[in-house]
Amino acid sequence: MENETVSRNFIEQIIDKDLEDGVYETVKTRFPPEPNGYLHIGHAKSILLNYGLAQQYNGKFNLRFDDTNPTKERTEYVDSILKDTEWLGADWEDRLFFASDYFEQMYEAAVFLINKGKAYVCDLSAEEIKEYRGTLKEPGKDSPYRNRSIEENLELFENMKNGKYGDGEKVLRAKIDMSSPNINMRDPIIYRVARMTHHNTGDKWCIYPMYDFAHPIEDAIEGVTHSICTLEFEDHRPLYEWVVRELEYKNPPRQIEFAKLYLTNVVTGKRYIKKLVEDGIVDGWDDPRLVSIAALRRRGFTPESIRMFVELCGVSKSNSSVDYAMLEYCIREDLKLKKPRIMAALNPIKVIIDNYPEDKVEYFDVPNNQENEELGVRKVPFCRELYISGDDFMEEPPKKYFRLFPGNEVRLMHAYFVKCVSYEKDESGNITVIHCTYDPATRSGSGFNERKVKGTIHWVPAPMAVKAEVRLYENIVDEEAGVYDEEGKINVNPNSLTVLKECYIEPSVAGSKAYDSFQFVRQGYFCVDSKDSSDEKLVFNRIVSLKSSFKLNK
């Protein structure tokens, strides 16, 4: 129906009213990451929300690094964030900014507040400031340095900038209200002395602004209209509004908070991931068992699947957790019609068809994706020696096992019927070779229907097969034990990674490059690893299995 009402989330409703009331003429949003680690799936929601709103209202989207704390910030993290944001499809065009670009303006803003009598230099130690702040039930008390003259504060603040004091010796505080019910408004620190080399400004500054002071200034300088952040900043909004009001910005930005995206049984905390990296439990921030954006990309997730996931999660004011299975559902939905379905033997056993001519090779036309004819067909070679998956053969099968076993006949997918006639074992009792016979009359597509078989298994031609390493993943977290133990350490799942060193895949994957992905028949979706794969050795990561525990409520 043309007049059907489209449901608007609460952020869209606020923006609609602001535009209707003439508060803003256009919309400008931003994503403001701190470069102190790699981005994770929760950040993807923020990126896509901010960028999506800018697109929806024909506005602008900025990418800005909140790099006001040089103790934890590194160029490596800046580079990774740029790559992740671009990969997700959020285009900041020429609007890439750094908070550190505004350090001079922030210093001038602090001087402006001092001249208004709204900021003062305080000599209390960090412990004393905390003690003076009071509690949620008790008001704070004024610093003995709160009533210094404007002239004295200007001189002391300049001395702070010029390096005359040690780290922590003096701070600049906003003069607001020590009895405010909101502790964030009890004369918060807005500048501190910190002798640290900054990744962008080097050693130019020995004082740095605090986030709650810097952020509203950055938004105001850039002309951001709607500063959209997560729910933990709700109590900081009065301070945000105080800063832009006292600095007398015209058309100041509006802060709006939304609920974070939480995944169940998943590690997103930067310090926990950093510990996993440092302890060698994972091979970097992009280890495919993690949910950093870099890790999801390396594992084989697509930007489209993450956008679908974020859209399904929606925008809300209340915190909640989403099952990881929903993210898996999204990647399956995205890949199922896009990717070729090929055959791979992950735990291979050799099959010899005793009555098939030794030198003969024939080619079968195989559809790349039975659900999407547009992907066309490929030719798969068939010969006397094949590989099948180890779980497709049993010496003594249970009831209703319809795959290969002594005396049983199955269809080799897209090829012939074969019957197991014997098998060989090594000294340890492991089956090494299965001997079969084939029936030439049962060629796939021939219309043969004299008898039926209940089992169909996939196969790979042994002489032409591509040898590869395949990595199977489970959750890095031991879900039964919970994410964290009593000491706050991660309960690591010892089976989170299984490496299959000797797998055989049909020859169509030869020459595959990083991030190329396929469905391996009956096994799941797999992606060429971007870090360890090479022309000499293909390495595949399993993106996701074929089976899903998630059901979308439509």
Residues belonging to the chain: 554
Q: Residue type for 430, please?
A: N
Fold topology of 10-96+210-260: Rossmann fold (3.40.50)
The pLDDT tens digits of the residues spanning 513-543 come to 999 999 999 999 999 999 999 999 999 999 9
The pLDDT tens digits of the residues spanning 181-201 come to 999 999 999 999 999 888 888
Indicate the CATH number for domain 467-544.
2.40.240.10
Question: Please, is 82 exposed, middle or buried when counting C-beta atoms within 10 Å of its C-beta (0-12, 13-18, 19+)?
Answer: middle
The pLDDT tens digits of the residues spanning 416-473 come to 999 999 999 999 999 999 999 999 999 998 877 778 899 999 999 999 999 999 999 9
Cα 303–Cα 304–Cα 309 angle in degrees, nearest 5:
95
Mean pLDDT over the full length of the chain: 94
Fold topology of 347-458: Ribosomal Protein L25; Chain P (2.40.240)
At 6, the pLDDT band (50, 70, 90 cuts) reads: low
The pLDDT tens digits of the residues spanning 70-99 come to 888 888 999 999 999 999 999 999 999 999
Sign of CA dihedral 495, 497, 503, 506: positive
Cα 302–Cα 304–Cα 309 angle in degrees, nearest 5:
100
Longest dimension (CA), the chain: 103
Q: What is the mean pLDDT of residues 322-348?
A: 96
Domain assignments of the chain as residue spans, ordered by start: 10-96+210-260, 103-208, 270-335, 347-458, 467-544
At 1, the pLDDT band (50, 70, 90 cuts) reads: very low
- Residue 422's nearest CA partner among 443, 408, 442, 403 is 408
Whether 228 and 253 have beta carbons less than 8 Å apart is answered as no
Q: Is 264 helix (H, G, I), strand (E, B) or coil?
A: coil
Percent of the chain surpassing pLDDT 70: 98
Query: How crowded is the C-beta side of 202, counted as CA atoms within 13 Å?
Result: 2
- Evaluate if residue 490 carries a pLDDT over 90: no
Q: Is 119 helix (H, G, I), strand (E, B) or coil?
A: strand
The Cα 46–Cα 260 span in angstroms is 8
Please tell me what DSSP assigns to residue 102: G
Q: Let me know if the fold of 10-96+210-260 is the same as that of 270-335.
A: no
Buried/exposed code over 496-505 (b: 16+ C-beta within 10 A; e: otherwise) = bbeeeeebbb
pLDDT of 206:
95
The pLDDT tens digits of the residues spanning 259-274 come to 998 888 888 888 888 8
User: Which single residue is written with the structure tokens 């291979």?
Assistant: 348
Fold topology of 270-335: Glutamyl-tRNA Synthetase; domain 2 (1.10.1160)
Which runs of E-coded beta strand occur in 52-180? 60-65, 96-98, 119-122, 171-174
DSSP secondary structure string, 382-448? Answer: E-SEEEEEGGGB-SSPPTT--SB-TT-EEEETTS-EEEEEEEEE-TTS-EEEEEEEEEGGG-TTS--
CATH superfamily of 103-208: Glutamyl-tRNA Synthetase; Domain 3 (3.90.800.10)
User: Which single residue is written with the structure tokens 């910005």?
Assistant: 249
Whether 46 and 230 have beta carbons less than 8 Å apart is answered as yes
